[in-house]
Amino acid sequence: MTGTAIVAGAVPVVATLALAPTFVWGTYADYVGRSFGVSELEAGTIRRGDRAFHYGRLDAVAAVNDMLPEVERISEPGDSLFVGTGDLRKTPYSEAFLYHLLPELEPATQYIEMDPGLANADDSGMADELRKADIVILSSIRDDWDEPNDSREFGPSEPNDVIDEDFCLVDSYGTGVSGRGLYELYRPC
């Protein structure tokens, strides 16, 4: 192998390591370590009936496990569920696993994945979908998300206004970086 080929192969790896956000590589390294049994962090499992979801944050596992019985208590099969970010102006991630754990509830939005520039676009219709939801779960678990792309862009505040005006907080679970709950459960007032 020539020196040029080695450099050509090494440049993308080094550039990725140098330019990718720390949370990407830290999380990836942690999951690789877990698969080989060498990670110090533990993954947890959220279970509901015959459904399970493995999650890498034990505080989130505890929060969701505390929240699910309350969702069951206040909802009925066929009710609609909206799962979103803590601040709906930014949509860089989704806790879509909650739809998996609550299959008796219908998704209240087409935005199961909260993609930036789509779910939080001015004309997305997310606020209108939210108004029709029976159950809302907002997650602030990644409120500190900072990535050099469109996930930094804020969309309209109308979805947050809908939460403030039309929904009442049932309870908050866990503690997020913003002082809010990692998960907050709402229903129409």
pLDDT for 92-130, tens place per residue? 888 999 999 999 999 999 988 888 878 888 888 999 999
Lowest mean pLDDT among 34-43, 125-134, 166-175: 34-43
- Across-strand partners of 84? 138
Average pLDDT, the chain: 85
pLDDT class of 165 with cuts at 50, 70, 90: very high
Average pLDDT over residues 149-167: 88
pLDDT class of 35 with cuts at 50, 70, 90: low
At residue 51, the pLDDT reads 92
107/8: higher pLDDT: 107
User: Is the whole model's pTM more than 0.85, yes or no?
Assistant: no
Alpha carbon distance 85, 64 (integer Å): 15
At residue 111, the pLDDT reads 86
For residue 81, give both structure tokens: 């569920």
At residue 107, the pLDDT reads 97
For residue 107, give both structure tokens: 């998704």
- Across-strand partners of 139? 85, 183
Alpha carbon distance 141, 97 (integer Å): 14
